Chain A
Amino acid sequence: MKKQMLIILALIAAMLAIGACGGAPAAQPTQPPAQPTQPPAQPEGKLAQIRAVGKLIVGTSADYPPYESIDASGNFVGFDMDLIRAVGENLGVEVEIRDMPFDSLIASLQEGKIDAVIAAMQATAERDEKVDFTIPYRKTKDAFIGAGDTTIIMTKPEDAAGLIIGAQTGTVQEGWIQKTLVATGLTPADKVFSYERADQAALDLASGRVQLVLMDAEPALELAKQNGLKVLLVTETTAEGGKSIAIPEGSSDLKAELDRIIQGLIDDGTVKALEEKHGLP
């Protein structure tokens, strides 16, 4: 009996070892294990492949309106969906959208199950190691909000100088306040409040403890609507990064073409029109 147990354990260990070896080259699909550092073999490039098939398969996670969601009749709708269809039109191919969990998107892209990902995704350093990103099609925006009856008028972010301001702890916005307002002496350090959560900041705003709150624009608009607050300024200056389309690692031809198309859509006002259509700040 003991001997049998040992055999079983040995077999499990062997299987795990095989599994570990099998798992290692997972990041490099379609490539023989001899050259694990090479990107996937693409004899004629990803772009040519897509054009040959005539179809761009795009993954998204359709539970994030107004960027992507599914309407009552089962169609993919939202800012990202309209944008990727416009991209497909420019590319001269049909766009097929597949819904999957946000967490499965990068893996599916790496394994070649899909050609691109559009899911309001930011090109973070960790993701950038696994896949490539196009230029941002939409810059991240921040908003300054004030109490409903505030008399403050802002035309530029620096107008916040000297006012009591709040932000969420550890965010890009807090960093901007510290760097631009406090370090330069425009706002005394004791006029800056740091909050665990943005909705707590909104409560203090309503009660008059702070005069301004700086945060991500989209939740800010929602928060302002729910709590009767006033949006004073929406700006790109204080924010960092943007939302990009993710494509397989090493598909430089596809990246070049998509970058060109996205820049075109930004320049001809398509992106702006879509933002307005979907109520994005």
Chain B
Amino acid sequence: MELLQDLLTTFNFIVQGLWVTISVTAVALTVGLALGITMAIVRVYGHPALQTAVSVYSVVIRATPVIVIIFILFFVISRYINLSPFWAGALALGFASGAYQTEIFRGAIQAVQPGQMIAARAIGMSRLQAIQSIVLPQALRLALPSWGNEATLVLKDSTLVFAVGVPEILRRAQQVSARTFEPFLAFGVALLLYLALTLITTQALQRLERRYRLQV
């Protein structure tokens, strides 16, 4: 009974970080999605100079630990632009995820047979039209499984934003653990919350996958 009571208090405390974790992840995934799709298109169809620029971004960002990107945004960039800890953390995760998502979408775009682009051009579509209505609809479907994987990775990377003082689920678990000296209970609750979030995300994405599956 006492254990149940402990569990309940611990849960009630840690769950207050749930919304923070969800918002950080949502912002990061959205920013990453916008960056990823745009840069993937540039990477495949853009001007050579732009292609190089995107490659550099992708290589440098993927080589940089996410925590370093967070520190750069919070301690260096926010000297010029006033960024709150939340936005510094969420945007840093978004920029990082953008690099990974670029590679996901690039692979997906390249998986659409080049003949389709040529055919679309032959019937008089502009390149932009062809990308928009022929290539992307297929590429996005192909990208879904890997994108789902990236989403769960970003969810767990969201724990890093505590480095600049944003109290998400894991930090709240640490706080409880420090107070009650019951790490298993505290981190167990954190695990359950992450598990629930991951299950919900993957289920939702699987539904999307089924719905938009290519009819071959």
Contacts and interface: CB of A to CB of B under 8 A. Distances in A.
B171 A99 contact: yes
Interface residues of B, number: 26
Contacts of B13: 72, 74
A26 interface: yes
Contacts of A69: 175, 178-179
Contact of A104 (B52, B55, B163): B163
A11 B163 contact: no
A99 B165 contact: yes
Given A100-B165, A101-B162, A22 B56 contact: no
B162 A12 contact: no
A200 interface: no
Interface string B163-198: 111010001001101110000000000000000000
Interface stretch (A57-65, A124-132, A232-240): A57-65
Nearest to A103: B163
Contacts of B75: 26, 107-108, 111, 113
A207 interface: no
A7 interface: yes
B56 A15 contact: yes
A159 to B, nearest CB: 34
A100 B162 contact: yes
Nearest to A71: B179
B210 interface: no
Nearest to B64: A19
Nearest to A112: B79
A70 B163 contact: no
A4 B59 CA distance: 13
Contacts of A22: 76
Interface string B80-116: 0000000000000000000000000000000000000
Looking at chain A, what size class is its interface with the partner chain? 20 to 34
Contacts of A107: 71, 75
Given A104-B163, A104-B164, A64 B52 contact: no
Interface in B1-42: 9, 12-13, 16
Contacts of B59: 8, 12
B60 interface: yes
Task: Give the dominant DSSP class at B's interface.
Answer: helix
A277 interface: no
A100 B164 contact: yes
Given A99-B171, A101-B163, A104-B163, A111 B79 contact: yes
Interface string A82-110: 00000000000000001111001001100
A241 B179 CA distance: 26
Task: Give the dominant DSSP class at A's interface.
Answer: mixed
A70 B179 contact: yes
Nearest to B165: A100
Given A22-B76, A104-B163, A70 B175 contact: yes
Contacts of B53: 11
A15 B52 contact: no
A96 B9 CA distance: 25
A43 interface: no
A263 interface: no
A8 B55 contact: yes
A145 B94 CA distance: 53
Contacts of A39: none
A63 B75 CA distance: 23
B163 A7 contact: no
11 contacts: A12-B56, A59-B165, A62-B178, A63-B175, A63-B177, A64-B178, A65-B178, A72-B13, A74-B13, A98-B165, A113-B75
Interface of A: 4, 7-8, 11-12, 15, 22-23, 26, 29-30, 59, 62-65, 69-72, 74, 98-101, 104, 107-108, 111, 113
Interface of B: 9, 12-13, 16, 52-53, 55-56, 59-60, 71, 74-76, 79, 162-165, 167, 171, 174-175, 177-179
4 closest A-B pairs by beta carbon, nearest first, are A63-B178, A100-B165, A70-B175, A11-B56
Given A15-B60, A26-B76, A72-B13, 13 more contacts: A11-B52, A11-B56, A15-B56, A26-B75, A30-B79, A64-B178, A72-B179, A99-B171, A100-B165, A107-B75, A108-B75, A108-B164, A111-B75
